[in-house]
Amino acid sequence: MLKIILVDDEPIVRLTIQTLGPWQNYGFQFAFEAANAQEALEQLKSGASIDMVLTDITMPKMNGIELIRQVKTINPNLPIIVLSAYNDYPYVREAFKLGVQDYILKSDLSFAALLKLFEKVKENIGLTNRHLKEITDNTVLLKQKILNDLLAGVPVSAFREKLEPLAIKIRNTHNVVCLFDVDDYKLQEDKYDSEILAKINNSIANVFSQKIMEYNIGEVLALSKERYVLIANFEGEHSSAVMFQKLNQLINDIKYSLSELLNISVTVGVSAFADGLENIPSLYRQAVQAIQFRLIWGKGKTIHQQDLLNIKNTAQIDISSFKKELFAALESSDTSRAQSILKNFKQSIIELNPAKINGVYNLYIEIIYSVFNYLSGKDIHPDDIMDQELDFYHKINAYETIDEMNQFLESLLLKIMLELKQKNENIPLKLKKAREYIRAHYHENISLKSVAQYLAVSEAYLSRLFSKEMGESFINYVTHLRIEKAKELLKNSNLSINEISEQVGYYNQEHFSRVFKKHEGCSPNKYR
């Protein structure tokens, strides 16, 4: 049973969430609740057995952001989901920077929606101390716990005597940490069902296990399904060149095996070498910083911490000026200018101070939200541009390079320009062309999409045009025209009902008869 602490200053919200559905039937228990952040911290510090935090962002005295920050100092691996309102976006952004797992809008709260987030956390959750106490006899799990503690900076004295009995191959000299991220893992999740994905995950884990056993120079730990960490050491080796060569050989062997066997690419972040187990957390942070440069340098690379030392960039980004230029390009529908602005923006990111690399995702999020705020003044809704893809935060965070984010943003801007252009064109002329096309092709399998493609407008725009200018939907207009044509044929021809059905665009006589009766109150035969 996964135990949850619920933190919200509104009693009605706490009660509503706990009574949304049969949580315990799905393995979840709201074991604790707190009316404010301070109460929640007291329960966490007391050693209460808590596996997950569900917290509001905006609360009096101490807000959710400060709570998250303090929770991470108590237990960095404790999963956190935040509750937010529509106007909480800056807080949500800050929460993600602090490492929360997910968020949900209070307006979207339902048993199914919240259960989906809980199941996601449950699937990826690390083993908690409570679980570890229950299975201390399990060597593999205890070994993973020690490696996690080592990376997290737990004093070495807490587990040093367990290293040898558990055959953990980490020594005190010549240590290095390598972080492996599977490229495009989120695309894999969308592409495959859970059964196939589980097989892929097992195969990835097997490649790492086999290679580490083969080279026998350290330990590997799966931090998540798409991230693995290697803690390697070269005790007894005195040549830095030889150590570097052996390490690169192992890295390249792992990359080659994953590519050949599974067609999977990985990006690798590599720390410097250092002595002392107490320095491994610092080496881990170096590897994390190095792998973040996948964003700039692309996927499939091996990025050494030493590479970052050579970067002398100190550039800053004037986001206000950038947005001003971008809006001007949108206003004039200047595609070339917009593309040039994006190209310059990308170059500014490349030249950005490395310490600012973490903020790049948030820059793109800020741009997209600003663009849609701009569009709201043009009476254009985001649905008209993005269909169902409105969760921009998650969409942008699924991208792994600035090239991908720039392509997404460029595609978005082109759609916006098309929508603005359509809005400014002569509406009666568009409507006339649409009606003429429908009258010429009503007997075919026409659709909103096919007519929109003919007119070179979006489906959303054409749908609004019919509703606003004709007073009826596109489908009603087409159906009315087809029924009128059918009535003419029923009166003035000897064609069979099936033949008439096909001549007016219905290729299923039964469907035609149902539609006809709905509109005319009688069957085609009776009408004839």
Per-residue model confidence as pLDDT tens digits over 101-127 = 888 988 888 999 999 999 888 887 654
CA 270 – CA 229 distance, rounded (Å)? 10
Level-2 CATH architecture, domain 427-527:
Orthogonal Bundle (1.10)
Which one, of 34, 72, 26, 78, lies nearest residue 56 by Cα?
A: 34
DSSP H helical ranges for 392-505: 392-398, 402-424, 427-441, 448-455, 459-465, 474-492, 497-503
- Low-confidence stretches of the chain (pLDDT < 70) are 86-87, 125-138, 313-315, 377-379, 382-384, 386-394, 423-427
Level-2 CATH architecture, domain 2-124:
3-Layer(aba) Sandwich (3.40)
Q: Give the 3-state secondary structure of residue 84.
A: strand
Which one, of 204, 203, 200, lies nearest residue 191 by Cα?
A: 200
CA 461 – CA 422 distance, rounded (Å)? 8
The CATH number for 135-305, chosen from 3.40.50.150, 3.30.70.270, 3.40.50.360, 3.40.50.1580, is 3.30.70.270
Domain ranges of the chain: 2-124, 135-305, 319-424, 427-527
Query: In degrees to the nearest 10, what's the CA dihedral of 411, 370, 404, 330?
Result: 30
Query: In degrees to the nearest 10, what's the CA dihedral of 307, 312, 318, 324?
Result: -70
Q: Which residues are registered as beta bridge partners of 175?
A: 233, 274
pLDDT in tens, 182-195: 999 988 887 888 88
Go through the chain and tell me how many residues it has.
528
Using an 8 Å Cβ cutoff, are 68 and 41 in contact?
A: no
Phi-psi region of 126 (alpha: psi -120 to 50; beta: other; left: phi over 0): beta
CA 208 – CA 373 distance, rounded (Å)? 47
Q: Which helix (H) or strand (E) holds 133?
A: helix 129-134
**How many whole angstroms from its chain centre is CA 338?**
26
Q: Which helix (H) or strand (E) holds 2?
A: strand 2-7
Using an 8 Å Cβ cutoff, are 161 and 209 in contact?
A: no
pLDDT confidence of residue 482: 94
Q: Which two structure tokens, joined as six digits, stand for 225?
A: 């399904």
Which one, of 119, 108, 120, 110, lies nearest residue 17 by Cα?
A: 110
Going by C-beta distance under 8 Å and a sequence separation of 6 or more, which residues neighbour residue 307? Answer: 290, 293
HEC secondary structure over 35-57: CCHHHHHHHHHCCCCCCEEEEEC
Q: Which two structure tokens, joined as six digits, stand for 456?
A: 């070179």
DSSP character at residue 21: S
